[in-house]
Amino acid sequence: MQRVLIIATDGFEQSELMKPRELLIEAGAEVTIASLKPGEIKGWDQKDWGESVPVDLTIDKVSSENYDALLLPGGQMNPDILRTEHKVIEVIREFDAARKPIAAICHAPWLLVEAMLVEGRTVTSWPSIRTDLANAGAAVVDEEVVVDGNLITSRKPDDIPAFTDALMAALNMEAAEQSA
């Protein structure tokens, strides 16, 4: 069984956490949500607060050795808060050093910039952070999903199917059969 860690905090883009988590679980993965505080974190659903999800463990208890991949949902608030947290950046760097897949969608590639992982890499993101990625040395493209080594990036919620498929492919997983 593949183990996927999701790091998020209040203000995560609801669809970018919920849908990949659902697809990964359906495909047989064990998915863990880590955050800055215990309890629950609240999503952002387009123009207002959305649903809450339970936090499985706090970031200070995370060991990258216990997981096969890292998923970073976007939203404006979520990665902006997380990129100022040393332990979050440290965990992202640990996944990269181990060459484990790191999947970041929408605004989440900001975290890859903060972890200094994008220089010389090809990535995509939400349009408003593309200049930040380019300034950090990335080659930025406008595609639904980009895989460069262990980095998997996507632009927006519409890209979630391709984004999740790319992560599952990196983990040698097959999507669960969809019932008609």
CA distance 21 to 164: 9
Catalytic residue among 106, 145, 168, 173: 106
Q: Is 86 a catalytic residue?
A: no
- Topology of the domain comprising 3-169: Rossmann fold (3.40.50)
Q: What is the pTM of this model?
A: 0.96
Q: Is 180 helix (H, G, I), strand (E, B) or coil?
A: coil
Choose, from 100, 107, 121, 130, the residue flagged as catalytic: 107
| Residues 67 and 150: beta-carbon distance below 8 Å | no
**What is the structure's pLDDT at 174?**
85
Portion of the chain with pLDDT greater than 70, in percent: 98
From CA 159, how far away is CA 36, in angstroms rounded?
27
106 noted as active-site residue? yes
